[in-house]
Amino acid sequence: MVHSSASFLGLPVELRFPIYKLLFNRYDGIYKPNILLVCRQIRTEAIPLYLECTRYFSTLEKLIRWTSTGNPDLLCHVKDISIQLLNNNPVDWDSLLSAAHEAAKEEAMQDTEPYSDAWWAAQFAMDAHTLPDIASPVSEQSQSSFRTRLIPQRFKTVFRSKQLDPSTQDQGKSLIHQLWSALKAIDNVQSCWIKLSHDDPKIQPIIQLLLQMVPAAFPAIRNFSCFSPLVSMDFLHHFRDLRMLRFTGYSKSTPEELLQILRSLKSLDAISIYRYPEFDDREKGIVTADLPKHLSLTAEVIAGMKPLRSLQIWHMASGVASEHLTVPMIQAWENHRFSLRTLNVDANQKLDKTVVLKLIDFVATSSLRNIHLRSQGDLKPLDISEYIPSTAQHCDARLKCDGFGIKVAPSSSMYSQRPYVARIFAKMYSSAQFHNHTFSEVDIRDPLYASILDDSFANQVLR
């Protein structure tokens, strides 16, 4: 009797592909990209999945070098990139200034072919005309990151057509041309995260140029995240099919200008407002106290947008109150009550009790399917299980509020219009019970949970 030994390649491809994705996940501790070195068949099957995972670039130079040495047949699989330009990333200002000066000698922009080298140089020159001349160029020392040193050298060549000497490639080409060529080489990108933390005002023109290049280089982009010093949001006009926009809510555009821009994006139905901690303001050269006058995403803008399906607010600055978690802002959500399906509120701060009540009021009367609510406080999370809508398929509520102390009674007239909101006080005052309200659609529909659900879902599952 012949016994056949089991092998990984003997598994159906429908099982191998999920295994590849697990091995390429950087966030669960299993990350094992070396499987690409096992054999040709595995490399052929898995490398598109590997390249679809987020590609991280800590400098523009690394992005340029990676794409210029990549195999074009494989670069088309890159779907998700993250670019960071930080204070410790030097820039070759002589190259940029030279390009700006050359652009000034060109014909008028209407006579220049769009998206050509001269056209992008002229775009840069429009913002760089005030830059001072720099006597000596700034050169970047070649230093590999810790993560790069951990990857075997032979693995680096898996997806490259050939190894080139970075010092000899693209000689004579300006940084502007190299940056545009790098972005065009990965033109199938669908998700892009850009974080530009640089307090040097001279970096502003290259930031604006990069933001203008993104929608032109990535026509298929659906998800765009941008965190930078204060810039104009005009570049958003050029996105063709943007679905999700993630930014701080602050910019050089006025609320009226931003509303016009957002309404021009026909497919936009998801907004994520992400506020980094206060130290990030310093890294961008922003004075935190001056930010309120640059608030672009106001309650009026939210109310005037096309129907949203997803709204996320991440406020990581514990020392600064969120301008997007206020009663007027939550009232603006009412315009999206019937379309909104996902609500994510994660605040690293204590919320005022009027804000918490307004938030609970909105959730209770909504048609939300995915709910995540978290805030800081000295008390235990509130029990809001009675106020989760029946449409919810997943909910994680860890909402705390210090305004509901035993000695402070709510105003009956303030909440008389919503009896279920008033009932929450009786529960909070009568006992110290609370629920970390977490469940999923699978749990609710699984027959194994039927007896628990029928008995007392809130008391036995959620406690």
In tens digits, what is the pLDDT along the chain, a chain of 463 residues?
566 677 888 888 899 998 888 888 776 656 778 888 889 998 989 888 888 888 888 888 889 889 988 788 889 999 999 988 765 555 555 555 555 555 555 544 445 678 877 778 777 777 665 554 444 333 333 343 333 333 444 444 444 444 444 443 343 347 788 889 999 999 999 999 998 876 666 677 788 888 999 999 999 999 999 998 888 999 999 999 999 999 999 999 999 999 999 999 999 999 999 998 888 877 777 888 888 899 999 999 999 999 999 999 999 888 888 999 999 999 999 999 999 999 999 999 888 889 999 999 999 999 999 999 999 887 788 888 888 999 999 999 888 876 654 333 333 333 444 444 434 433 343 333 333 333 333 333 344 333 333 333 223 322 2
Specify if 15 maps to a domain: yes
Chosen domain end from 159, 190, 221? 221
Does one domain contain both 117 and 24? no
Among residues 195, 221, 247, the one where a domain terminates is 221
Beta strands in 37-168 (DSSP E): 55-57, 80-86
Tell me the per-residue pLDDT of 333-392, one tens digit each, with 9 for 90 and over: 999 999 999 999 999 988 888 999 999 999 999 999 999 999 988 778 888 888 899 999
pLDDT for the residue numbered 58: 83
Say yes or no: 22 and 158 in one domain.
Answer: no
Structural domain that includes position 34: 9-50
Say whether both 40 and 120 belong to one domain.
no
Q: Are residues 182 and 155 in the same domain?
A: yes
Same domain flag for 44 and 69: no
Judge whether 203 lies within some domain: yes
Does 117 share its domain with 20?
A: no
Domain boundary among the residues 221, 254, 284 is at 221
Cα angle 111, 116, 118 (rounded to 5 degrees) comes to: 65
- One domain for residues 41 and 127: no
265 within domain boundaries: no
The answer as to whether 182 is a domain residue is yes
Beta pairing partners, 221: none
Spatial CB neighbours of 9, under 8 Å, sequence gap ≥ 6: 16, 41, 42
Indicate if 209 and 64 belong to the same structural domain: yes
pLDDT at 95: 56
Do the beta carbons of residue 324 and residue 347 sit within 8 Å? no
Return d(Cα 463, Cα 457) in angstroms, integer: 9
**125 lies in the same domain as 202:** yes
Summarize pLDDT for 25-58 with one digit per residue, the tens: 776 656 778 888 889 998 989 888 888 888 888 8
Does 271 map to a domain? no
Quick one: 67 and 205 in the same domain? yes
Residue 136 placed within a domain: no
Domain membership of residue 93 (yes or no) is yes
Residue at 268 is within a domain: no
Residue 265: C-alpha distances to residues 242, 259, 461 (Å): 7, 10, 42
Question: Per the structure, how many domains does the chain have?
Answer: 2
Whether 65 and 159 share a structural domain: yes
Which residue, 291, 313, 288, is CA-closest to 302? 313
Task: Note whether 79 and 159 are same-domain residues.
Answer: yes
